[in-house]
Every structure is written in structure tokens, then in C-alpha cells.
Amino acid sequence: MGRPATFVRFAGCNLRCQGCDTDQKAHWQMSLPDVLAKIRGDRVVITGGEPTMQMREFSELISLLHSHGKEIHIESNGTNPIAEEILKKIRYAVISPKRCSDFHLNFWASKENVHLKFVMGTAPWCWTSSLLEPYLPILDRCRVWIMAYGTDQEMMGARDAWDLAMKLGINYSDRLHIRLLKR
Ligand code: SF4
């Protein structure tokens, strides 16, 4: 967060989270060389929607960027496990499980370059302290983050999320894109 990067957003998602901050309708088609030509700098974040919905293109893009020496980060809801040979080309994968989905927690928890991000709140797909705590014994707390739900700049749950992170010994993540981009 806060470091310069080119964002590549794949269109579409297999989940429909209430309050999703991504426009799921806007999209256009690009070839892999077209995408490569648009990349600025050495750091690329591949996100969505859900990028693994287009697993072949997602995997090919990662291999292409890796062959060009790019530092690759991805964001995913974790519903589609990524092949080992692709995962190892990724610097950090941020997996944000939604509680009503099949998120393969044991798979992701076993990968050292995977960080798990849980969005806290009252929406049906969000997490609460009591829902999250049973999973903590199988997770490496250094790679677990919580973030407050919120699509407006007030970020009303941010302080509660921070307090909970301190109590559980895990990490807090802010929503910098919301604080800065909607002004
Ligand atoms: S998984 Fe992410 S992109 Fe998909 S609907 Fe939920 S918040 Fe939006």
C-alpha cells in the first residue's frame, strides 16, 4: 500500500459482495502484448473483479511479466487455487476470503508468499471477531491482516478493526484507495 505500481484489473467476478467497490460492468479486451505495453515501472498488481476467473490469461500474463523481470503482486478472493508454477512467480499474493464462499484456506495458508486479508463488518460476506478467531490457530499471524469494511472516506469501522488487530496479534490494513481516490 502506498508504493507505486501498475494495476491490471481483470473484469468480472464469481462473487457478488454487497458494497463491492469495483465497477463490474466496465471492461474492454486487450491482448497480452497490449497489456505489457501499458505497464509502467517494475511493480505490477493484478487484481479484479476476480482475476482467476480467466485463469489461462491470468497465468499467461504472470509468466510474461515474470519473463520481463517485473515484481508481481496479485489480489484474489481465493476461490480458485493457483498452480504452484505460477504462484512461485508471484512476490506476494493477497487472498481475501469471503465467508460465504469456498476459499480453500488450508491451501493458501501453506504458501509462504500468501497473505490473508479478512474484511471485518456486518455485511453477509464480511468477518467478525468470533468468526475469524477459530481459524487463527492454523494461520501464521504475520501473514494475516484485517481491514474495515467501508466504501466512504469516514471509514467508521477502522478504529475497531485496529483495536481487534492489536488484540489478536495480527496486522491492520487501511483502505488507502478509498481515502484518497474518491475525493
Ligand atoms: S470478491 Fe472482491 S471483486 Fe468480487 S464481488 Fe467480492 S469484493 Fe467485489
| pLDDT tens, N- to C-terminus, the chain (183 residues) | 889 999 999 999 999 898 787 887 889 999 999 999 999 999 999 999 999 999 999 999 999 999 999 999 999 999 999 999 999 999 999 999 999 899 999 999 999 999 999 999 888 999 999 999 999 999 999 999 999 987 666 666 889 999 999 999 999 999 888 888 755
Contacts of residue 114, Cβ cutoff 8 Å, sequence gap at least 6: 87, 92, 93, 94, 95, 108, 143
Distance of alpha carbon 179 from alpha carbon 127, whole angstroms: 21
Domain assignments of the chain as residue spans, ordered by start: 6-181
Query: Which pTM does this prediction carry?
Result: 0.94
Pick from 9, 18, 22 the residue to mutate for probing ligand 1's pocket: most ligand atoms within 8 Å of its CB. Answer: 22
| Ligand 1 pocket residue status of 123, Cβ below 6 Å | no
CATH topology (fold) of 6-181: TIM Barrel (3.20.20)
Grid-cell match 468480472, residue found: 12
Pick from 9, 14, 15 the residue to mutate for probing ligand 1's pocket: most ligand atoms within 8 Å of its CB. Answer: 15
